[in-house]
Amino acid sequence: MGHVPRGVFVNRVAMPVENKLAIETKEFWDEDALLKEERREFNVCHGCRLCWNFCPAFPALFDKTDAVDGDFEKLSRKDLRIVEDSCYQCKLCFIRCPYTAPHQYDIDIPRLLMRAKFINARKDGVKLQDKLMGNTDLLGKVGGLTAPMANLGNNVWPVRFVMEKTMGIHRDATLPRFHMRSFASWFKGHEKDLYASLPADTPKVAFFYTCYVNHNDPPTGIACAQVLAHNQIRVIAPEQQCCGMPFIDGGDLNAALGKIKANLKSLTEVVKQGCDIVVPGPTCSFMLKKEYPRLAPSDDAKLVSQHTFDISEYLWKRKVAGKLNTQFKAKLGKVAYHAPCHLRAQMVGNKGADLMALAPDTEVERVEQCSAHDGAWGVKKHSHALSLKYGQKLFRGLEESEAGLYVTDCPLAALQIQHATGKRPVHPMQALKVAYGI
């Protein structure tokens, strides 16, 4: 791996890559081996049923298993396809499951169904819809160049009707807005002024700002950079592409690996220069921490995983080390904080909520429910209504909090919450920016 300069922190929770399901093995791609593993893991689920109401996959599974009275030898891959297709990778079942490793049952349903998605896509091909929607870097660039027209079109019924017919995007789903000026462009123009007052030996972090922040939500990226600077931390923005998760959602592993390998090349270099990586989006930090070592196993992937942190997680570690600026100037009042599933799956706690609670006269109510947006699933024609159904617990929890401010780390959850409640959440860093009086 070579010499790595000592960074501020090292993430000690990187998942091991289990040999039995390593993606480069022949067994991983064998359909008979997949069916054998599905029968083994689903048999545990059949007897447990803790996750019966988490997502559509489990009701579909139990309908199948009850029909054969738990005799899994009667279930084929064709029978289980509806279960595979109903998983949108929220990871909630993994979070709640009592049988995950190091338990001897070693249950990981999201990973099992991701494997099934890859095998199905290799066999059946990747849908054009998923190829288009997975290429978020391209969509973001095109959307940015045509931002006024693209944003207007997203709210015009005839355009949405055509999008539904051609791309399968539900005509009523709330879609991200595009910005003509990306975060990367803003940062390039403001980097010098942002850090003019910081000493030369100021600690640095590499900001993996995400494709969504770059093209659809630059204000969140700006708030992240400003809050870090306010805490005497200099940000660098290494070359980066989409984390790859949108392609994985559609089963396009080869396209995802292209993104992953490009990011690993760039991020490994900045880590070796002594930088930790901070990420504002839970799905993207989950990818770098958990999925990169699995999908592209290498020393570089392990290194990046060990040095990747959610931005709130990183700042809280600064707090524990006595290095966080706690001179807050403004109150936030009553805050309802949505704890995203992909952040909870990292087992780091609700650090964004903890940080906001440091502000004066601020009360934070945590709502740990899934938004059920999860990538493109929440906007697709066949699943939009179902996603809103499974997000009801979250929407109800937020509204019952009677909070004046909604906060979530997840940008797609923010869209879903806005769609259902009419109130747009902000990112924890945007809330902290207000609390700091920046």
Domain boundaries, the chain: 19-124, 128-167, 183-318, 326-436
For the domain spanning 183-318, the CATH number is 3.40.50
Q: Do domains 183-318 and 326-436 have the same CATH topology?
A: yes
Residue spans of beta strands (DSSP E) within 204-307: 204-207, 234-236, 276-279
CA dist., res. 430 & res. 438, Å (int): 10
Alpha-carbon torsion (294, 298, 299, 303), positive or negative: negative
Give every CB contact of residue 36 below 8 A, 6+ residues apart in sequence: none
Neighbours of 101 (CB within 10 A): 12
CA dist., res. 159 & res. 139, Å (int): 17
Q: Which helix (H) or strand (E) holds 63?
A: helix 57-67
Q: How far is CA 123 from CA 109, 116, 248, in A?
A: 21, 10, 15
What's the token pair of residue 24? 């480069």
CATH domain 326-436 topology = Rossmann fold (3.40.50)
pLDDT in tens, the chain (438 residues): 443 433 444 454 433 334 456 888 999 999 999 999 999 999 999 999 999 999 999 999 999 999 999 999 999 999 999 999 999 999 999 999 999 999 999 999 999 999 999 999 999 999 988 998 999 999 999 999 999 999 998 889 999 999 999 889 999 999 999 999 999 999 999 999 999 888 888 899 999 999 999 999 999 999 999 999 999 999 999 999 999 999 999 999 999 999 999 999 999 999 999 999 999 999 999 999 999 999 999 999 999 999 999 999 999 999 999 999 999 999 999 999 999 999 999 999 999 999 999 999 999 999 999 999 988 888 999 999 999 999 999 999 999 999 999 999 999 999 999 999 999 999 999 999 999 999
What's the token pair of residue 2? 């070579």
Helix 218-230 to helix 311-320 angle (10° resolution) is 10
CA dist., res. 345 & res. 94, Å (int): 7
